[in-house]
């Protein structure tokens, strides 16, 4: 597969992943708005913060390092060794589920059983759900490495839809079940995910399409661990790289979910406030999750395939370096513009969005201020996602090990920032701590990228500079929409609100038009790579 083919497949994968994340976030968005009418914010806080944190922590610690290591190097590897290595995620996840489950039950504050019953059942089922999902990890890696761009979208879409339908039905007919219904819905999601992945590969293996693609797995038995004659059981180079990423993953998880760890372990917010924070956080992260995260995941695969890990730029193929630089430059510009748009318009429309979504429960108090600060965080999150995506794809094992010490320092700083800023400014302090740490991570990645491309003529970081005209349009849009909010929003009925929305729409159109004429290179990249796949058949 040439680098051009890899880029085309990666662009399709990113687009399909965006569609998947859009579906997931829209359904979650609607589901949260629906459950707010039936379930207390305290239960939402326990489920969405504490139990979901248990689930995500088990998954992240058990599989993140394996994913980063096993997706490096492309499809021309000994996949029997890789599959053997990937099945280690299941016992590792089981150990983490048992250990963290004990922590959640014995060391953390237990919710009041009268207002939040069945907490112990929730811990058990959410831990079990994580282990069930890990059973599909070898199949997920195979699909990603061989660019099965539609499989993940279809499987996860079906799983998400079934989970949402189950939750809605149970909320309507048995809202008193509380944590029971959310726990069973989570277990249903991971079970359907596992079943559909196996059904796909059972149908796919042995077909003419599999032979045409030279798929390395011939039968279902090859999807499970087995011995290899005269060879090591696993690829020890990948195993060592996995260990390096594992040490880093633990620290990255602290940075990613730091505010939830502080809420969970230090009790700086009660369960009701945690529920409100989580809802606002989900709203603020909509674009980050369904645009930035799929781009980061998909183009990590692109950079890992096009550039050889650990080799300096002088030892890479010139055309591969040129393509990687061009893609990195365009991606940085794309996420920068999206992030700036969210920050500028989010300030004036946070109050209105929360009022429409959850009524006075969300729009009163600290909700609007929290969402406004989150819009700044989204901008930093956008830039960091792409810069770290490239950095982690080309770092050598030794550089990964050194970066672990940087992550350790960032993790300690973040926890300290979170605790003291929350004590000073409530839940807004969590977002401010995230912003500070994200800025530090961006600075480190930018330094690495500058040093990496220094021997060449390529300067992909130049895309972080905007044209003066576009900057002026952003500033004018921010001032106009802020002034519009003061005049028209948000307690004077629907007609003034519609005027406020119309003002924002006009300003957004001005930003889009200006971007189209000033960022011609980005427009060409979007047309040729991120949109062209819709007119092509998957090969």
DSSP of 198-227, one letter per residue? Answer: HHHHHHHTTSHHHHHTT-S--SGGGGS---
- Which range is least confidently modeled, 28-32, 142-146, 478-482, 486-490? 28-32
Q: Is the pLDDT of residue 210 over 60?
A: yes
| pLDDT more than 70, % of the chain | 89
* Segment 266-289 mean pLDDT: 76
Quick one: pLDDT band at residue 185, thresholds 50, 70, 90?
very high
Closest by CA position to 183, among listed 115, 129, 146, 242: 129
Q: What is the structure's pLDDT at 396?
A: 83
Q: What is the structure's pLDDT at 75?
A: 45
pLDDT digits (tens, 9 = 90+) for 426-436: 778 888 888 99
Q: What is the structure's pLDDT at 281?
A: 79
* Segment 167-182 mean pLDDT: 87
Give domain status of residue 447, yes or no. Answer: no
pTM: 0.69
Phi and psi based region of residue 307 (left: phi greater than 0; alpha: psi -120 to 50; beta: remaining)? beta
Give domain status of residue 76, yes or no. Answer: yes
Alpha helices in 257-363 (DSSP H): 258-266, 271-284, 286-287, 293-306, 318-358, 360-363
Give domain status of residue 406, yes or no. Answer: no
Q: b/e for 256-274, b at 16 or more Cβ within 10 A?
A: bbbbbbbbbeeebbebebb
pLDDT digits (tens, 9 = 90+) for 74-126: 545 788 888 999 999 999 999 999 999 999 999 998 888 888 889 999 999 99
Task: Considering only residues 291 and 157, tell me which one the structure prediction assigns the higher pLDDT.
Answer: 157
Q: What is the structure's pLDDT at 511?
A: 96
Q: What is the structure's pLDDT at 534?
A: 41
Number of neighbouring beta carbons within 10 Å of residue 218: 11
Q: What is the structure's pLDDT at 533?
A: 44
Q: What is the structure's pLDDT at 4?
A: 62
The count of structural domains within the chain is 1
Q: Is the pLDDT of residue 504 over 90?
A: yes
Q: Is the pLDDT of residue 439 over 50?
A: yes
Note down the domain range covering 167.
38-243
Q: What is the structure's pLDDT at 42?
A: 82
Q: State the DSSP H helix or E strand holding residue 160, giving kind and residue range, or none if neither.
A: helix 151-173
Q: What is the structure's pLDDT at 17?
A: 63
Number of neighbouring beta carbons within 10 Å of residue 321: 19
Q: Is the pLDDT of residue 24 over 80?
A: no
Q: What is the structure's pLDDT at 226?
A: 85
Quick one: pLDDT band at residue 23, thresholds 50, 70, 90?
low
- Which range is least confidently modeled, 94-103, 130-139, 195-204, 217-226? 217-226
C-alpha dihedral (43, 49, 52, 57), degrees to nearest 10: -150
Helix count and strand count (H, E) for the chain: 23, 0
pLDDT digits (tens, 9 = 90+) for 28-42: 667 767 776 778 778
The distance of Cα 539 from the centroid of its chain, to the nearest Å, equals 27
Q: What is the structure's pLDDT at 19?
A: 64
Residue-averaged pLDDT of the chain:
84
pLDDT digits (tens, 9 = 90+) for 366-410: 778 888 999 999 999 999 989 998 998 888 878 888 887 888 888
Give domain status of residue 182, yes or no. Answer: yes
Q: Is the pLDDT of residue 364 over 80?
A: no
* Segment 447-473 mean pLDDT: 90
């Amino acid at each position: 597969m040439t680098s051009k083919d890899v880029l085309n497949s990666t662009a399709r994968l990113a687009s399909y992943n965006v569609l998947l994340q859009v579906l997931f976030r829209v359904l979650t968005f609607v589901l949260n708005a629906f459950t707010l009418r039936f379930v207390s914010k305290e239960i939402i806080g326990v489920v969405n913060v504490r139990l979901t944190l248990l689930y995500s922590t088990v998954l992240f610690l058990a599989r993140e390092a394996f994913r980063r290591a096993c997706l490096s190097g492309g499809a021309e590897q000994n996949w029997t060794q890789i599959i053997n290595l990937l099945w280690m995620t299941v016992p590792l996840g089981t150990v983490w589920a048992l250990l963290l489950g004990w922590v959640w039950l014995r060391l953390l504050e237990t919710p009041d059983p009268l207002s939040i019953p069945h907490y112990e059942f929730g811990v058990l089922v959410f831990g079990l759900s994580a282990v069930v999902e890990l059973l599909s990890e070898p199949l997920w890696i195979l699909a990603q490495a061989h660019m099965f761009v539609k499989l993940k979208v279809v499987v996860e879409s079906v799983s998400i839809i079934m989970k949402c339908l189950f939750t809605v039905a149970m909320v309507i007919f048995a809202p008193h079940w509380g944590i029971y219904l959310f726990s069973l819905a989570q277990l249903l999601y991971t079970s359907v995910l596992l079943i559909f992945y196996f059904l796909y590969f059972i149908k796919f293996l042995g077909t003419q399409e599999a032979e045409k693609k030279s798929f390395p797995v011939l039968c279902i038995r090859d999807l499970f661990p087995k011995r290899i004659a005269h060879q090591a059981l696993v690829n020890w180079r990948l195993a060592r790289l996995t260990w390096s990423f594992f040490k880093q993953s633990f620290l990255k998880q602290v940075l990613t979910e730091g505010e939830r760890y502080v809420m969970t372990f230090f009790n700086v917010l009660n369960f009701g406030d945690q529920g409100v924070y989580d809802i606002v956080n989900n709203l603020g992260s909509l674009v980050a999750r369904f645009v930035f995260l799929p781009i980061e995941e998909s183009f990590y695969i692109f950079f890992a395939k096009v550039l050889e890990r650990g080799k300096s730029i002088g030892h890479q193929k010139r055309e591969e370096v040129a393509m990687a630089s061009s893609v990195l430059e365009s991606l940085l510009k794309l996420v920068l513009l999206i992030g700036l748009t969210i920050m500028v318009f989010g300030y004036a429309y946070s109050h209105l969005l929360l009022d429409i979504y959850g009524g006075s429960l969300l729009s009163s108090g600290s909700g609007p201020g929290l969402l406004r600060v989150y819009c700044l965080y989204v901008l930093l999150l956008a830039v960091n996602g792409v810069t770290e995506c490239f950095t982690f794809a080309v770092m050598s094992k030794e550089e990964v090990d050194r970066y672990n010490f940087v992550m350790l320092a960032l993790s300690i700083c973040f926890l300290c920032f979170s605790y003291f800023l929350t004590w000073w400014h409530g839940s807004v302090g969590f977002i401010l701590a995230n912003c500070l740490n994200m800025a530090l991570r961006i600075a480190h990645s930018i330094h690495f990228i500058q040093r990496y491309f220094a021997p060449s003529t390529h300067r992909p970081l130049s895309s972080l500079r905007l044209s003066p005209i576009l900057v002026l349009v952003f500033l004018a849009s921010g001032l106009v929409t802020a002034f519009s909010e003061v005049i028209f929003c948000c307690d004077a009925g629907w007609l003034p609100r519609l005027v406020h929305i119309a003002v924002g729409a006009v300003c957004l159109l001005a930003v889009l038009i200006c971007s189209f004429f000033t960022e011609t290179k980005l427009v060409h990249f979007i047309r040729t790579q991120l949109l062209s796949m819709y007119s092509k058949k998957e090969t």
